[in-house]
Copies of this chain bind each other. A is one copy, B any other.
Amino acid sequence: MALFTDEEYRARIERTKRSMAEHNMELLVVSDPANMNYLTGYDGWSFYVPQAVVVAADAEQPLWIGRGMDAAGARHTTFLDPENIIGYPDDYVQSPIRHPMNFVADQINQRGWGNASVGVEMDAYYFTARSLNELQKSLAGGNILNADLLVNWLRLVKSQREIGFMKEAGLIAERVMQTALDCLAPGVRECDAVAAVYKAQMSGTETLGGDYPAIVPMMPTGEKTSAPHLTWTDEPYKSGQMVNLELAACRHRYHCPIARTAYLGKTPPDKLDRLASVTVEGLNLTLDAIKPGMRCEDVELVWRNHIAGAGFEKESRIGYAMGLNYPPDWGEHTASLRPGDRTVLEPDMTFHMILGMWMDNYGFECSESFHVTETGCETFADFPRKLFLKP
């Protein structure tokens, strides 16, 4: 059973077809698992083999094309009619002499679309260099165009049901963060704190089970706080250290990331305390400033002006669109809250605003996931914004 109504999928496909027409594409080969899910409902851990959703301007439904053994999963999770779910034989898997994209091209050719102008997602994680070569080689003719992020941009404004899932993820995210803070203490191994977080992510609440987030929990401490993407070790947390908590919850592939900072001790250094106050104040007033009609860069400017007043600056972007996704990233790779991004905020766009302030040997971060409303914005999780002390 697909999670959304047929009507919702059809509307998504209609918008996709309109965007295809604007880009002179008659056919679109979608490989990004989040985009495949968005257009059909397909949800499975099968993106380690090539697979695609093919949208044709002149066909009502897209085709799902994947590994034969995953066709049952497609029948289970998509709204598609069975004849639009096509499995390829297993000898296409990890073979030097044939490739699933040859099969995809054959299916396209058989339907008389082999000479169409075909959009492909040039920079999607699982659309490899070989995928493109094999597709091109096997297409009857056709003209390959870059459709990177075409569907991602359509995902920016969420439906009410999508917002609903993100609110549910927000409820789980509150528990996830509380669990992390509860179990953080000097002497606790990093792996055990992460274990507790994972458990909270999947158990969710009594009525809402959790799904796997697209990024693993990040809880670095000590010198690793300056290397943001190292994962955990067996080492115990130590007194007098900061811990960055970059966590998330996920519900039906919709995310609510949330970040906080803890200090393992009673008395944080004054400079950390001050940085925390400035950052939280900035987060509060930047969220307060958000209104539909503002540009992404204007949101960033509110924050930038605030911290400049306190004598700080921050180089990187302060947020990005996010929602439906699969590993390795929950970000949508479209709008960012940064200078130069002139995307105009609309109700039901969803972002993760993450304010990470890194000094030479200390730092503080705090984040919120939110949706733009008719009059402002609303966060998905409700969790105190402050420096947490864990003596």
A315 contacts B by Cβ under 8 Å: yes
Interface status of A117 (Cβ within 8 A of chain B): no
Residue A123 lies at the interface, judged by CB distance under 8 Å to chain B: yes
Q: Which residue from B120, B216, B316 sits with its C-beta under 8 Å from A90?
A: B316
The answer on a CB contact under 8 Å between B125 and A126 is yes
**Is A7 positioned at the interface, with any CB of B under 8 Å from its CB?**
no
| A194 sits at the interface (CB 8 A) | yes
Q: Enumerate chain B residues within 8 angstroms of A24, measured Cβ to Cβ.
A: none
Q: How many chain A residues have a CB neighbour from B under 8 Å?
A: 73
- Chain-B contact segment, one of A40-48, A156-164, A254-262, A291-299: A40-48
B133 contacts A128, C-beta separation under 8 Å = no
If A128-B122, A226-B72, A328-B47 touch, does A203 touch B195 (CB 8 Å cutoff)? yes
Min CB distance, A382 to chain B, in Å? 22
Contact mask for chain A residues 263-287; partner B; CB cutoff 8 A; 1 contact, 0 none: 0000000000000000000000000
Q: How far is the CA of A245 from the CA of B378 in the complex (A)?
A: 40
Copies of the chain in the assembly = 2
Chain B residues whose C-beta falls within 8 Å of the C-beta of A5 in the assembled complex? none
A95-131 near B? 1/0 per residue, CB < 8 Å: 0000100000000000000000000101111111111
Instruction: Give Cα A216–Cα B210 distance, bound, in whole angstroms.
Output: 13
CA distance A288 to B76 in the complex (A): 39
Q: In the complex, which residues 129-151 of chain A have their Cβ closer than 8 Å to any Cβ of chain B?
A: 129-133, 146, 148
Contact with B along A187-206 (1 / 0, CB 8 A): 00111101110111111100
For residue A234, CB closer than 8 A to chain B, the reply is yes
User: Does A8 count as interface, using CB distance less than 8 angstroms?
Assistant: no
**CB-based contact B189/A194 at 8 Å:** no
Given the complex, which residues of B lie within 8 Å of A90, measured CB to CB? 315-316
From known contacts A45-B216, A128-B128, A212-B216, infer whether A230 and B122 are also in contact, taking CB-CB under 8 Å: no
Of the candidates B69, B203, B215, B229, the one whose C-beta lies within 8 Å of that of A73 is B229
Q: Min CB distance, A294 to chain B, in Å?
A: 21
Task: Tell me the complex Cα distance, A94–B211, Å.
Answer: 26
Neighbour of A231 across the interface among B44, B72, B226, B315, CB < 8 A: B44
Could you list 30 A-B pairs, sorted by A, with CB under 8 Å? A43-B230, A44-B227, A44-B229, A45-B218, A45-B229, A45-B231, A46-B229, A48-B125, A48-B328, A48-B329, A69-B229, A70-B227, A70-B228, A73-B229, A77-B230, A94-B333, A122-B128, A123-B129, A124-B128, A128-B128, A128-B129, A129-B129, A129-B131, A129-B132, A190-B209, A191-B210, A192-B209, A195-B210, A212-B216, A212-B231
Interface residues of A (CB under 8 A from B): 43-48, 69-70, 72-73, 75-77, 90, 94, 99, 120, 122-133, 146, 148, 189-192, 194-196, 198-204, 207-212, 215-216, 218, 223-224, 226-234, 315-316, 327-329, 331, 333, 336
Closest A-B pairs by Cβ, 3 of them: A191-B209, A209-B234, A129-B132
